[in-house]
Amino acid sequence: MSTINNLNPQRVFYYFEQLSAIPHGSGNMSAIAQYCVDFAINHNFKFVRDTANNVIIYKNATAGYEQSAPIILQGHLDMVCQKTPDCDIDFLKDGLQLYVDGDYIKAKDTTLGGDNGIAVAMVLAILESDNISHPPIEAVFTTDEEVGMIGARALDMRLLQGRRMINLDSETEDIVTVSCAGGSDFKANVPLVYTKRTGHTITIEIAGLKSGHSGVEINKNRVNANMIAGRVLNELKSNFDFSVISINGGDKSNAIPNRCVIILCVDNPDDICSFIDNYYKTVKNEISDREPQFKITTAVGAVGEHNVLNTEIKEKIIYTLLCAPNGVMEMSAEISGLVQTSLNLGVLITNTDSIVLHFALRSNKQSALIFLEQRLAAFFDNLNLKYETFGHYPPWEYKSDSYMCDLYCNVYNSIFGKKPRILAIHAGLECGVFAAGIKDFDCISIGPNLKDVHTVNERLSISSTASVYNLLIKILEKLK
């Protein structure tokens, strides 16, 4: 394995290698936070380390910038830990094994942690340097971003004087991100009331759908397996007598479910299987252009006595799957192509005492997110079902007169001879948490080219890192 700290910009890659040697998966933040504290102490910088292991390092302005407004430079300390089946690394104790492959830095058999270690490395290199002109810097390193932005949500924003921020958690060099969605979780519970029924079981499996992230892919017309399950049950209801034993689809609220399994108890399994097969052909003809691998299969079990949902509960489940909102609710009127508000029924699970429906809600407008929660609440109130909302994180709303965006675009154009792409995303960034806590907040999110993040194929472009680092320095120089 070759080392990487002799690459240019040398100090950025030096610090990236130093950070990569420290275990820093989400939930394991103490050692890497201490590294940042030791850095601050060794360079005589004022710092704060809070109970969530967030670290803020303060550096005074360079000559000529003393009257300039502070700038916040921000990234997160944690990484997603994945490894190949034969990799023996213990993420709680071991560092990563980095190597260079052409223009890319990779980690042997593991995720790289370029998301977001390269942000921390770039900021440390800037803090260390005596040759970069800049206003006062507040370097903010947050923790446990990958598991719910826990550190950012715990951070006392009163520790920051800056109203302008550069977040370094984006993954494409020619994109500047200017808005992100906020979100919440909405979970409804349908209490189970069972009766007994004797008959054959039929297992209906809906599978082969593309799935995807409920923020990034929600606008790609990917079909939700739980919604298909509602269609199947509704068609059966109009033609046959059946009882539901269980229904289960999806395991993550923020992933569009690609599979749902329904188990029924029936008297006439052959007729029902034939009916489902014909209905499958109808639905496949409808969605095959966007879901070519979609399929519905059935399997008949032996006769027996089973606990089945009573009629009232069955009707509530079918009604919910037919009528509850799901998918894209509204597109942005400000940014072309941006989904503004959406929700995803990501988990439908039959427990011992209830069926749980777990939705992930998103919006780039706080008021729209609140209304979507109210809409779901009214829906389930009408069914006399209990629900809860939790996991709230605020949106970072688009600022049409952003000084930071204008400055970035002008500097980018002066260096590369073209404008960057301006992007708003329908997923979460820590910028939303900062925007909620800092008045008159103005922010951009940038970063070097990273590929296949959160997988063992993750890789960081060396040349792109150099470009973004030099661009960041030019931005700092312009912030007088």
Give residues with Cβ within 8 angstroms of 297, minimum separation 6: 204, 205, 207
Closest Cα to residue 16, out of 136, 104, 164, 125?
125
Does 130 participate in catalysis according to the annotation?
no
Cβ contact 133:127 at 8 Å: no
Closest Cα to residue 180, out of 375, 448, 374, 433?
433
- Residue tagged active-site, from 17, 145, 146, 169: 145
Tokens 């729209």 correspond to: 368
Q: E-assigned strands of 221-311?
A: 243-249, 260-266, 295-309
Cβ contact 111:9 at 8 Å: no
Burial class (CB in 10 A: 0-12, 13-18, 19+), 437: middle
Parallel/antiparallel/unpaired status of strands 104-107 and 459-461: antiparallel
Give residues with Cβ within 8 angstroms of 315, minimum separation 6: none
- Residue tagged active-site, from 78, 171, 397, 442: 78
Q: E strand or H helix at 357, and its extent? A: strand 354-363
Distance CA 345, CA 205 (A): 18
Residue 108 backbone dihedrals phi, psi, to 5 degrees: -65, 110
Tokens of 235: 């068609």
Does 145 participate in catalysis according to the annotation?
yes
Point out which residues pair with 138 in neighbouring strands. Answer: 58, 72
Give residues with Cβ within 8 angstroms of 61, minimum separation 6: 68, 134, 135, 136
Point out which residues pair with 357 in neighbouring strands. Answer: 188, 348
For residues 43, 471, 402 and 47, what is the CA-based torsion angle, rounded to 10 degrees?
-10
Query: Widest CA span of the chain, in angstroms?
Result: 85
Q: Residue 96: how many CB atoms within 10 A of its CB?
A: 26
Closest Cα to residue 40, out of 107, 148, 137, 133?
137
Closest Cα to residue 59, out of 151, 125, 153?
125
| Residue 370 three-state SS | helix
State the catalytic residues.
78, 145
